[in-house]
Structure 1
Amino acid sequence: MIRKWMEPFQDHMQHWVNFQLNNTKKKPEKTIPQETEMLRRFKQSIERRQAEVLKIKIIFQPYRIHRYGRQENISYQLQLARVLKVKNAYHIEEQVLYRMMKTHDGHLIIDKALPESPQPAHHIFQPLEQGGRSFAYDRREAVQYAETWWNDYNPQYETFTDNCTNFISQCLRAGNAPMRGQPDRSQGWWYQNQNWSYSWAVAHSFRWYLSSSTAGLTAKEVEEATDLALGDVICYDFNGDDRWQHSTIVTSFDGNGEPLVNAQTTNSRARYWTYEDSTAWTPNIRYKFFRIGQDVK
């Protein structure tokens, strides 16, 4: 049975797509102001990068419907793929978005993105110095892991609601990053027997670990995103209050030589590194750029 709200929802989604493709200047009417602003930032970013969105494909998958009399709240997953051209280079950016629409008597009232939920907790770990300083970081294996698992979950590891840093740690481990500090969760960077350090799974702890570690997994902070290489890491403080909430890994570069990243929580592949198209973005956002390992001059 085709629900009454399906046709207006499809019209709305087509408008949502056409606005991003610049096929219409009229903003989608059923999105909340926060998301309209997000779409505006996305389009400004595309223009600034001298990029072009050539095609957008979406797949709609509802997974929960709540009925309240004549009103329905539909939670759904939207698989989004954008084909982008940046100068003479092409790439496909993919995201899995979780959204909710409200309808009344089959009329679409509002459609909005569910918030990306950055990790609220942060923990202080104590640096633990042991072992040698250098290690051979296999960037290709780290990137391959990120490409394989960006929208799936390796059963060898625990999965969290906010899984971004856990995912990045898995990528680094696949690239031969050495663990240390077991079994003290406040020390080092490690995962062992379904237990883990704070720095393995908590974005804030992970950011400070990368800044201070001189043994095991080590990194060098650099000034610009364009200083990064494949397999390197970006950390995000969305609110600019020194509470670091998100982590991504560089998996490719666009036609301007800027990083494209893979991440989880909002599962993303080849996403432009600035995250201007995120509901978590604020004008106060801060970034930290880390070259992984000691193969950097």
Structure 2
Amino acid sequence: MAAKVAPTTTLPSRDEVDDIEVDAFIHAMSRRHGYDFSGYAPSSLKRRVLQLVQTLDVAHVGELTARVLRDDEMVPQVIAKLSVPVSEMFRNPAVFRKLRDEVFPVLASYPQINIWQAGCAHGQEVYSLAILLKEAGLYDRCQIYATDFSDEALAKAQEGIFPIRDARLYSENYLAAGGRHTLSDYYHARYDFMKLDARLRERVTFANHNLVCDGVFCEAQLILCRNVLIYFSDALQDRVLGLFRDSLSRGGFLCLGNRESIRFAPSARDFAPIDAELRLYRNAGGLL
């Protein structure tokens, strides 16, 4: 009798195995700890998870999954590494100049101004906004809500301490954004760091908020969320835009990052462009 020949099977490639393991990691983080990354852009999330494996010196994503399932103390570190807290003060100065020249005069008509900085990372843009609001005479009427889903990033933001090596770039950005003094008026330099004036935090509330799964945070006249949506899938981007729409007051302003576009999102109809190139929009529902 002829021996049976086992059917040939094609083993998955290393890349396919990584995809399977990343999916299992996402499921574990959601089921075990309540952090849902399923709506993130797959290629970006996979890249960050693989970088996390190298950073934490584990053998593979499967081992990382096993550890986060059993070690609660490891989760904050994982969340901090998966977030992308990359920013600078007055990043894209033209955006801040536009806010100063065209948005602030409208905000000045409100007795109380609520501003939501979503995905605040290490706080550079929060402090940038606070400085310009002070120079416009609006800061004392403002409440700025600076949120992020990483407690580690929020802690750094609250410190307001940044490397002094970045001071020159920040100063150039500040002047290009229409700053009226010198940036050094707002910080104290010591050793290799610059510490921003504590008065810039007087009207700022730092809080944990996850755009993926949390609801409306506040009613705001201005929402800034710059270069966060680029890490989300199309469906999640649309959900977050709906969240921003529901959080904005009538005619409120939305400022996104220059790498983001709402052109093809179903929620785009809810926003009227003020300056599409600078990604500045207004709540269209409040303009009818």
Q: TM-score scaled by structure 1? A: 0.28
| Structure with larger RCO (C-alpha < 8 A, sep 6+) | 1
Q: TM-score scaled by structure 2? A: 0.28
Relative to its length, the structure with more strand (as a share) is 1
Relative to its length, the structure with more helix (as a share) is 2
